[in-house]
Structure 1
Amino acid sequence: MTVTTGSPLRILLLGGTTEATALATHLARVDGVQATLSLAGRTANPAASAFSVRIGGFGGVEGLANHLQREKIDLLVDATHPFAARISANAIAASIETGVPLLAVERPPWTQVDGDDWIEHDGIEAAISALPHKPQDVFSGLGRQAIDALRRAPHHRYLIRVVDPIELPANLAHAKIITARGPFHTEDDIKIFTEHRIRYVLAKNAGGSAAYSKIEAARKLGITVHMVRRPALGPRPTVATSDEALNWIEALHRTRSDLGV
């Protein structure tokens, strides 16, 4: 895409997902776009980016709004994880406060198919509390942020998959950590679940293909999945893929060009 405007289109891309990485790669080849990729800093070795990268938070709505104004941002793109509710809510509020347009890139959630055994919950704590009272072998795909919640039911034998190595709390004596970065594969997860005699899977409805293998593996093995629903957010312009986001940005870019901005 090549569009020329009177001034560059300045984009702040809130990232941390495969969609954000793909969009950054596309936008790096677009003339007249200046973009910064913002990451929360929770992953020790994030994927390489073609953009300049900013690590760390903004300081809430006020901090993000100040950044948008100070850096003269023309477009805020929220391509964070579907469960990054706080930064997404801050993005909505900062967009309203500053008048900077907001576009969300949000992959569709997973839906049940024949053979799935799901029990859905509105939060992580509810999903953990719904496990049987007797100790069980449980696979947690909830991420490192959920480990504190797992401590409330320490009698289970958890197998916890995370991206970066971490030290487990003392009261999770029966838990084990496996470190791996997606995309994951169904055959590998079937092997893991079988070897560790997994009977329950804890998962967040992240959508996409990179982490869907645990859902397929659970289906094939007849394992119950305790699925955490996505947090509700306010209305915002939303697309499902990086390609759709690029088309949306192209339309904005051309409108600016027609207006001589």
Structure 2
Amino acid sequence: MQRLLILGGTTEATALAQALPTDRWIGIVSLAGRTRQPLTIPAILRQGHFGGVDGFVNFLKAERINAVVDATHPFAAQISHQAAIATDQCQIPLLMLVRPPWEPQMGDRWLVVPDLAAAAARLPGLAQRIFLTTGRQSLASFSALKDQWFLMRMLEPPPPELPLPPGEVLCDRPPFTLTHELDLLQRYHIQALVTKNSGGTATCTKLAAARQHEIPVVIIERPALPEGDRVSTVAAALKWLDQQS
């Protein structure tokens, strides 16, 4: 039996763990630990950070890992770079399972920016009531904007010490229907959407809702990922694993 480390926290990571051939692979799914109640995953589960590259290397050796699939969120660039360095040092094969980014469609009013700071700087003069869907870790980047009102959607409440912009926190878990998103934009009189280009289908309906309401979308580009083997589907990841076993 070979031992596979899946860097998780995404629907793709869960799907890969569920589809893993258990006659050949023992799956270990690692989560950063930010979600207090993670979804049930059919594999050995570990939570928390590795402690940098050195900690990552120590874990790979101690757990006798034979291969790693990085199925983290497209914006979790730090752990992806650490995984690339650690697996290279240990001479362990690494695959990145990366969902395709969203692409603008006819009728979209996208304003593409490189990072959170640029997104916050783009909002004054653009809109006053904003739907913010960049996650609780990013809220402080918008806390200086006192003339805007934000509907801040996230999985879990932010910690009490985190500085927030004016507005309302909405805790909810995807997927979201188009009807739900359209109702949300209308009910809160939303004038602009701010989101990361995460890709996937679980939250893409907010883009369709913004298109129908003809409101601008400030969309944050993905950070650069390390070089290496990369696929976009669980099926392709399983095929890659077949070549490793």
Alpha-carbon distance in 2 for matches of 1:174, 1:214: 21
Matched, 1:214 2:206: yes
Counterparts in 2 of 1:164 and 1:36: CA distance versus 1, 3 Å: same
Alpha-carbon distance in 2 for matches of 1:164, 1:68: 31
Alpha-carbon distance in 2 for matches of 1:171, 1:86: 23
Aligned to 1:225: 217
Aligned to 1:24: 17
Alpha-carbon distance in 1 for matches of 2:106, 2:198: 19
Alpha-carbon distance in 1 for matches of 2:147, 2:231: 42
Superimposed CA distance per residue, residues 14-56 of structure 1 (whole angstroms, 9 cap, x where no aligned partner): 00000000000011x4302112100001111111011010010
Aligned to 1:4: none
Is the contact between residue 149 and residue 166 of structure 2 (CA under 8 Å) also seen in structure 1?
Answer: yes
Deviation at 1:155, TM superposition (A): 2.3
What are the residue-to-residue correspondences of 1:89-104 with 2, within 5 Å?
Answer: 89-104=81-96
Counterparts in 2 of 1:138 and 1:131: CA distance versus 1, 3 Å: same
Aligned to 2:66: 74
Q: Which amino acid aligns with 2:110?
A: W
Is the contact between residue 113 and residue 221 of structure 2 (CA under 8 Å) also seen in structure 1?
Answer: yes
CA RMSD of aligned residues (A): 1.6
Matched, 1:197 2:189: yes
> Which of the residues 5, 9, 14 maps onto 2:2?
9
Return the TM-score normalized by structure 1.
0.90
Is the contact between residue 140 and residue 162 of structure 2 (CA under 8 Å) also seen in structure 1?
Answer: no
Counterparts in 2 of 1:135 and 1:214: CA distance versus 1, 3 Å: closer
Query: Percent identity among equivalent residues?
Result: 38
Aligned to 2:35: 43
Aligned to 2:100: 108
Long gaps (5+) in structure 1: 1-7, 254-261
Counterparts in 2 of 1:171 and 1:69: CA distance versus 1, 3 Å: closer
Return the TM-score normalized by structure 2.
0.96
SS in 2 for 1:46: coil
Q: Which amino acid aligns with 1:46?
A: P
Alpha-carbon distance in 2 for matches of 1:170, 1:180: 19
Alpha-carbon distance in 2 for matches of 1:38, 1:202: 29
What are the residue-to-residue correspondences of 1:31-180 with 2, within 5 Å?
Answer: 31-133=23-125, 136-166=128-158, 172=164, 174-180=166-172
Q: Which amino acid aligns with 2:138?
A: A
Long gaps (5+) in structure 2: none
Q: Which runs of 4+ in 1 moved over 2 A?
A: 132-135, 165-174
Superimposed CA distance per residue, residues 184-205 of structure 1 (whole angstroms, 9 cap, x where no aligned partner): 1111011001111111100000
Alpha-carbon distance in 2 for matches of 1:65, 1:219: 45
Superimposed CA distance per residue, residues 200-227 of structure 1 (whole angstroms, 9 cap, x where no aligned partner): 1000000000010111110010010000
Matched, 1:237 2:240: no
Deviation at 1:71, TM superposition (A): 1.3
Larger Rg: 1
Aligned to 1:256: none
Worse-matched range after superposition: 74-83 or 165-174? 165-174
